[in-house]
Amino acid sequence: MRLLAVGALVLLVVVIVLGTVYRSSVSAHARAAVVLSTTLQIPVAAWLVRVVTGEPRLEERTIGGAPTTVAWPAGEGPWRAIVFVNGATERGRRHPAVRRLATGLARAGFAAYVPDVYGLARGEITERTVAEAVAVAQAAQREARDGRVGLAGVSVGTTLALLVAEDVSMREHVSIVAGVAPYAELVDVIRLATIGRYRRGAALVPYRADPFVRLAVARSLAAGLPDGPDRTALRAHLAGVGADADDPLAGVRAWPRERLRSEARAVVELLSNREPARFDALYARFSPAMRASMKRLSPLEGAGSIEARVELASAQQDKYFPLAASRALVAAAPDGHLTVTETLDHAVPSASVDEIAGLFRFYGFLLRSLRHASG
């Protein structure tokens, strides 16, 4: 039965590719098949894609301060453009799965821009991170065939893609925002990281998230502090904490606080807190400027202004962010759609036979996204 299921999946992809790439134009089904086969390295299908599509050309550029890989389709442009924003991975745009996705998009006929925006590889999300993502999207839009750009991402990369689509300079130039498992409000992520709960209406619901969420939140808050010795010391300490640490905030809880300035002390006290009843009061100690920055880093605040289609996908039980975040975002967006599929652990879909139905649901998400990106 396992071999039969694998064979059925391969046969479907092969039929889609063979049935479409030899037409005068490549359909959305063919594009989706090309991208999925290349990214997941599906046997036979990935080989077939390499045979019937041209070899992409990779270019390294710096755009708006962000080192960026651009994967160009074979042949002469201009091309439709997609900007893909990573999740928090140390290898950034050089992660093998990310490279395969970029080349898959290029084989499907898109110019794929993959930036390493400021702080993202370390899990630091700040307003500078968003500004660099906007700059890359602006450059891609100017170079695109139709003056529009698709935005895509995974995890916090999806959150950044949403924030780019909300930027006043980009709203009318975005064709699609597609991504996997974003967060919606940064304060909710901070709550999740510190007290292990997220807000559902008036209730606080327990949720077990990967410990890396705690580290990424701590790094982002430390990076958002005003320049000075407190910021420097906290960032240096957190940079030395391993991404796989079981308790990444242990050192923060032991941090001497008597010499900290008020803003840094508020951050350390909030990160050290484990009592749900104290969270709101501790968060209220952040300065108005810092709380305003947390709102600007929260796409739910401006999701109603997004003019493009929003396509999100998530697992029922994502290991980082609750499904409720994706539900809230698609509800707030004027044109939003959510795919729930257990083929996702968090970022990369599984080609496992056990998740064959979920993989087909993910294929539908990808198909719709690429159809909108194609204009």
Instruction: Verify that 217 and 339 share a domain, yes or no.
Output: no
Instruction: Verify that 30 and 103 share a domain, yes or no.
Output: yes
Q: Give the tens place of pLDDT for each residue, 236-286.
A: 999 999 999 999 999 999 999 988 999 999 999 999 999 999 999 999 999
Question: What CATH number is given to the structural domain containing 149?
Answer: 3.40.50.1820
Tell me, what DSSP letter sits at residue 54? P
Give me the chain's average pLDDT, please: 90
Instruction: Verify that 134 and 176 share a domain, yes or no.
Output: yes
Instruction: Verify that 63 and 133 share a domain, yes or no.
Output: yes
Instruction: Verify that 163 and 236 share a domain, yes or no.
Output: no
Of 182, 176, 180, the C-alpha closest to 28 is 176
Cα distance between residue 86 and residue 323, in whole Å? 19
Low-confidence winner among 1-5, 45-49, 138-142, 345-349 (lowest mean pLDDT): 1-5
Range of the domain at 164: 2-184+301-373
Model confidence, pTM: 0.92
- Mark which of 296, 330, 365 sits at the end of a domain: 296
Output the CA–CA distances (angstroms, integers) from residue 223 to 124, 193, 226, in the order listed. 7, 16, 8
Instruction: Verify that 311 and 274 share a domain, yes or no.
Output: no
Q: Give the tens place of pLDDT for each residue, 71-108.
A: 999 988 899 999 999 998 889 999 999 999 999 999 99
User: What is the pLDDT confidence band of residue 342, given thresholds at 50, 70 and 90?
Assistant: confident
CB atoms within 10 A of CB 18: 13
Instruction: Verify that 142 and 208 share a domain, yes or no.
Output: no
Taking residues 52-70, what's their average pLDDT? 94
- Mark which of 296, 313, 332 sits at the end of a domain: 296
Instruction: Verify that 121 and 190 share a domain, yes or no.
Output: no
Name 229's Cβ contacts closer than 8 Å, sequence gap at least 6: none
- Mark which of 296, 327, 346 sits at the end of a domain: 296
Predicted confidence at residue 354, as pLDDT, reads 56
Residue 44 predicted with pLDDT over 80: no
Q: Give the tens place of pLDDT for each residue, 306-339.
A: 999 999 999 998 999 999 999 999 999 999 999 9
Q: How many domains does the chain have?
A: 2
Instruction: Verify that 272 and 345 share a domain, yes or no.
Output: no
Instruction: Verify that 131 and 206 share a domain, yes or no.
Output: no
User: What is the pLDDT confidence band of residue 375, given thresholds at 50, 70 and 90?
Assistant: confident
**How many Cα neighbours within 13 Å face the side chain of 225?**
24
Helices marked H in 114-204: 127-143, 156-166, 186-195
Cα distance between residue 336 and residue 92, in whole Å? 28
**Number of helices (H), then strands (E), in the chain:** 15, 10
Residue 4 predicted with pLDDT over 90: no
The packing angle between helices 262-272 and 229-239, to 10°, is: 30
Instruction: Verify that 101 and 225 share a domain, yes or no.
Output: no
Q: What percentage of the chain carries pLDDT values higher than 70?
A: 90
Residue 308 backbone phi and psi in degrees, to 5: -85, 165
Helices marked H in the chain: 2-20, 28-40, 45-52, 96-107, 127-143, 156-166, 186-195, 212-223, 229-239, 250-253, 262-272, 279-283, 288-296, 323-332, 356-373
Instruction: Verify that 256 and 319 share a domain, yes or no.
Output: no
Q: Give the tens place of pLDDT for each residue, 7-18.
A: 445 545 554 554
CB atoms within 10 A of CB 275: 9
CB atoms within 10 A of CB 207: 18
Beta bridge partners of 70: 59, 113
Residue 328 contacts residue 300 (beta carbons within 8 Å): yes
Predicted confidence at residue 355, as pLDDT, reads 62
Residue type, 224: G
Of residues 9 and 22, more confidence is placed in 9
Three-class SS of residue 358? helix
User: What is the pLDDT confidence band of residue 43, given thresholds at 50, 70 and 90?
Assistant: confident
